[in-house]
Chain A
Amino acid sequence: MVLELYLDLLSQPCRAIYIFAKKNGIPFQMHTVDLRKGEHLSDAFAQVNPVKKVPAMKDNDFTLSESVAILLYLTHKYKVPDHWYPQDLQARARVDEYLAWQHTTLRRSCLRALWHKVMFPVFLGEQVPSETLAATLAELDVNLRVLEDKFLQDKAFLVGPHISLADLVAITEVMHPIGGGCPVFEGHPKLAAWYHRVETVVGKELFREANEVILKVKDSAPVNLIIKQKVMPRVLAMIQ
């Protein structure tokens, strides 16, 4: 039975997995789990992932959650080109280091930037104080600076001359505030250049396809009130 991926391209980690699978020609059946319609909270989806989050993967009887776990599983199972997750011990450690660092830093800022700027007002119909948004955007800027100064530096890609899982995860994160209309590259020219390199390697068509949903996020329909009640506590926990 073919690999099943449960994704909503609204979600950054889902985009990373989507791009990775497509780019590497990994055959999969896509199951869209529409977060804005609360589909992740259904009993049916709980059978796949009791934690009720995307992304989730099902490989016959083996179900797996957590995006880094899924990306690494796909990397090893499908024997993708080495540059994605190098065999070389130190090069690989750099990818691991980035993937660990970004989870509570860049990932968190990108998520908060999108939610404070767009999702709260447009989707949830909740106003966000301007000081809150300003603080969120300031923190995003700090993390973008670390991305540029500690990780990218003068290299073509985050861990070296070739694209890796680190770049994929990073770019799908920055697409969040980009989709939200934040001027992510202002004051970060190296990141702008890196972004174009990643887009080129991924392929413009695949990149566009993967980002279609996030680039239209400002047009999100207001949430259904029943769904709002269900998702609100989870949203608040998520962006804490």
Chain B
Amino acid sequence: MGLKLYLDLLSQPCRAVYIFAKKNGIPFQLHTVDLLKGQHVSEQFLQLNCQRKVPVLKDGNFVLTESSAILIYLSSKYQVADHWYPADLQARARVHEYLGWHTDNIRGIFGVPLWTKVLGPLIGTQIPEEKVERNRKNMFESLQRLEEKFFGDGTFLTGYQVTVADLMCLEELMQPVALGYNLFEGRPQLTAWRARVEEFLGANLCQQAHGRILSIQEQAAKNTLPVPYPEVQSRMMLRIARIP
């Protein structure tokens, strides 16, 4: 039966899962769930995940959602190198501390530029400049807090080796970077960290994982993106309404 991963590499948490599986040589069958084509709201996908979200893991009959749960499951099942999700009590606690902080401070904030620059306009919605500016400010303040809290000791977010925390963080930051925000300018520590993570992962894997998000703006400009059908558009409007 084999492991199946249901992903759209447009999504930050999907990329984290993809990179993790690939880097660790975990064999899996990739099922692309194209969000712009509304494949996540199909009856078929609904059977898999009633929340209509990606990523989803299917291991035999076992279906699992939530990227951090998936990463931890894969770490344990495939007995990956310890550094990804260390067994040491304190080291592991630091990973969970990051993941908790990430949910409040990174997730939800760094995904906004894709909506303001591409997805909103795609369905004919302009997000007010005031919100775009507020989001820019929120991102920069978050990065400040990220550097203050996680860039003390160690070369990676929670210590001296790459963990799942670094993957989750990098993929969130890649979203606005792909949309032209220069998050790393004037942030040498952050820049160095990113370089270290990408070096560890390897250029090929990064290219593979980031290809879709890096080309999205160009595709939008060329009008080659599929226009989401009405059911998907109304869901998108709900998400847009939540942009502070």
Contacts and interface: CB of A to CB of B under 8 A. Distances in A.
Bound together: yes
Interface string A84-101: 000001101110110111
Contact of A104 (B65, B103, B145): B103
B65 A97 contact: yes
B84 to A, nearest CB: 15
Interface string A20-39: 00000000000000000000
A150 interface: yes
B90 A93 contact: no
A73 B93 contact: yes
A101 B65 contact: yes
Interface in B82-130: 89-90, 92-94, 96-97, 99-101, 103-104, 107-108
Nearest to A104: B103
Contacts of B67: 100
Contacts of A66: 96-97, 99-101
Contacts of A146: 51
Interface in A206-222: none
A93 B104 CA distance: 21
B66 to A, nearest CB: 4
A96 B66 contact: yes
B100 A101 contact: no
B80 interface: no
A89 B101 contact: no
B89 A73 contact: yes
Interface residues of B, number: 31
Contact of B92 (A70, A76, A94, A100): A76
Contacts, number: 83
Given A96-B72, A100-B69, A68 B64 contact: no
Interface string A59-76: 000101111111011001
A62 B92 CA distance: 13
A150 B66 contact: no
A76 to B, nearest CB: 6
B73 interface: yes
A121 B148 CA distance: 35
Contact of A72 (B50, B92, B101): B92
A42 interface: no
Nearest to A97: B69
A72 B108 CA distance: 24
Nearest to B141: A237
Interface of A: 50-51, 62, 64-70, 72-73, 76-77, 89-90, 92-94, 96-97, 99-101, 103-104, 146, 149-150, 240
15 contacts: A62-B90, A64-B97, A65-B97, A65-B100, A69-B93, A69-B97, A69-B100, A72-B92, A73-B96, A92-B73, A93-B62, A93-B72, A94-B64, A96-B69, A96-B72
Interface of B: 50-51, 62, 64-69, 72-73, 76-77, 89-90, 92-94, 96-97, 99-101, 103-104, 107-108, 145, 148-149, 244
